[in-house]
């Protein structure tokens, strides 16, 4: 084979790790077209060694930070250019210059890059590298604006939203003052938010995450294992926060770490056989809350200024749906280490949701299925209406499932699912929702005139 079959031009993509909607995702940014030579190194197969431009000397391969695609040898390029060897013309060819700076997804099985055109997703990807505003939580007008915004989604938890925001604002003020780490640890608040499933614990923090201009990630405690066991550990959560901060370690260290399903870490007689490393995870969290240094890759992460929010249902911690009288001792009996509970200075119980609360969520929350369907039907020019009996019917089903507001979308989708086919088929111009009649239908449809 001619040596020119190994040397050629390729599009170069950079692998981008970021946190989107609380999940770690990988995308690819096209950064240039470069010359190089294709080869197999001892430990890396099918790699491309870049020999020009700012990435000169870098290696691109599927398992490295840089990927190469659309490789064409100099022989192929010459053939396409009437056998003229013009390297500058090859590199400036529109095919190779196209989409530089754009973001892509990558399908490994098909070895295919797909350009991302969704503006919302692009904004979120770009947001992971934005300049965070350290003063956003120091402006006295911001807290009331955030409170009002979150209340549009979370209903019947006004005091809880206020307490969570107050603690986070306080923390950001404290860590940005010229105080000693010892003084910061005395003033900073770590929070446990607890209460029945479907009361809005996680959703409040998701709303805050969408508004705050500081790094914040929501992690699932059930995925954690004690260091040395198979699974994720504390450093994985901190690395995700580092990515959410646009790989700015200083800003990540002042961020907010939300640990969802915190109650699943409880170590008691029922859980011991199920997961022997839960107490080990609690010990690791104790170290994190004490303000310690953790290491991942080549980074050193100091948690002294980190705000930690733990979320959990703690089912069975009380004999009824009233969580307001739960004490630290109750958490210890439930299976959380007393030492760990001592590091959480703020305990915020959620209100249990009554049938009237569920109805209020359905009607008022801008994320309720009733209001999201209202927007959908409006976009389709479908007249949409409902009556009080329908709201009662949906609320009663949600209460029966004992899952709060979490089940509303499922109930709603199942209730009108059969009507959607007929609407999408274009036969109807209006839908009215009501309590199901004998035939079981919770809707009436009006045909187009």
Q: What tens digit of pLDDT does each residue of 269-290 get? A: 555 444 446 788 888 899 999 9
Mean pLDDT of 18-22: 70
Two tokens, residue 281 = 């995870």
Least confident of 16-30, 141-155, 367-381: 16-30
Architecture of domain 355-447 in this structure: Orthogonal Bundle (1.10)
φ, ψ at 274 (rounded to 5°): -70, -35
pLDDT over 60 at 322, yes or no: yes
pLDDT at site 135: 52
User: 49 forms bridges with which residues in the sheet?
Assistant: 37, 59
d(C-alpha 340, C-alpha 234), whole Å: 15
| Domain ranges within the chain, ordered by starting residue | 3-127, 140-349, 355-447
Does the pTM surpass 0.75? The reply is no
User: 37 forms bridges with which residues in the sheet?
Assistant: 7, 49
Mean pLDDT of 144-172: 89
Token look-up 């190994």 returns 6
Which residues, other chains included, contact 37 with Cβ-Cβ below 8 Å and sequence gap of 6+? 6, 7, 8, 48, 49, 51
Please state which CATH number belongs to domain 140-349.
3.40.50.300
């Amino acid at each position: 084979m001619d040596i020119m079959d190994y040397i050629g031009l390729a599009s170069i993509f950079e692998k981008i790790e970021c946190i989107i909607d609380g999940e770690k995702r990988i995308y690819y940014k096209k950064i240039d077209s470069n010359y190089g030579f294709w080869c197999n190194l001892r430990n890396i197969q099918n790699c491309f060694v870049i020999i020009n431009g700012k990435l000169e000397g870098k290696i691109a391969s599927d398992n490295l930070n840089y990927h190469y695609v659309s490789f064409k040898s100099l022989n192929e390029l010459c053939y396409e250019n009437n056998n003229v060897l013009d390297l500058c013309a090859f590199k400036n060819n529109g095919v190779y210059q196209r989409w530089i700076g754009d973001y892509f997804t990558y399908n490994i099985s098909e070895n295919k890059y797909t350009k991302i055109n969704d503006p919302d997703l692009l904004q979120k990807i770009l947001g992971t590298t934005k300049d965070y505003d350290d003063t956003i939580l120091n402006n006295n007008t911001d807290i009331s604006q955030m409170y009002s915004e979150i209340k549009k989604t979370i209903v019947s938890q006004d005091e809880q939203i206020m307490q969570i925001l107050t603690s986070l604002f306080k923390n950001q003020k404290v860590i940005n003052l010229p105080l000693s780490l010892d003084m910061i640890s005395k003033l900073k608040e770590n929070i446990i938010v607890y209460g029945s499933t479907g009361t809005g614990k996680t959703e409040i923090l998701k709303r805050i995450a969408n508004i705050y201009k500081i790094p914040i990630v929501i992690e699932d405690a059930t995925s954690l294992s004690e260091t040395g066991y198979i699974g994720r550990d504390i450093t994985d959560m901190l690395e995700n926060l580092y990515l959410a901060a646009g790989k700015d370690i200083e800003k990540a260290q002042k961020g907010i770490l939300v640990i969802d399903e915190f109650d699943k870490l409880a170590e008691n007689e029922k859980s011991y056989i199920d997961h022997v490393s839960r107490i080990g995870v609690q010990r690791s969290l104790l170290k994190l809350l004490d303000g310690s240094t953790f290491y991942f890759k080549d980074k050193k992460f100091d948690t002294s200024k980190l705000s930690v929010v733990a979320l959990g249902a703690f089912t069975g911690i009380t004999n009824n749906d009233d969580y307001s009288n739960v004490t630290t001792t109750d958490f210890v009996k439930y299976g959380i280490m007393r030492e760990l509970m001592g590091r959480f200075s703020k305990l915020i119980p959620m209100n249990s949701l009554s049938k009237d609360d569920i109805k209020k969520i359905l009607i008022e929350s801008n994320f309720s299925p009733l209001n999201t369907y209202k927007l959908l039907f409006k976009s389709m020019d479908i007249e949409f209406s409902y009556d009080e009996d329908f709201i009662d019917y949906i609320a009663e089903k949600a209460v029966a499932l004992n899952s709060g507001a979490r089940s509303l979308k499922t109930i709603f989708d199942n209730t009108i699912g059969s009507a959607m086919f007929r609407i999408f088929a274009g036969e109807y111009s209006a839908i009215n929702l009501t309590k199901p009649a004998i035939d079981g239908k919770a809707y009436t449809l009006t045909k187009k005139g």
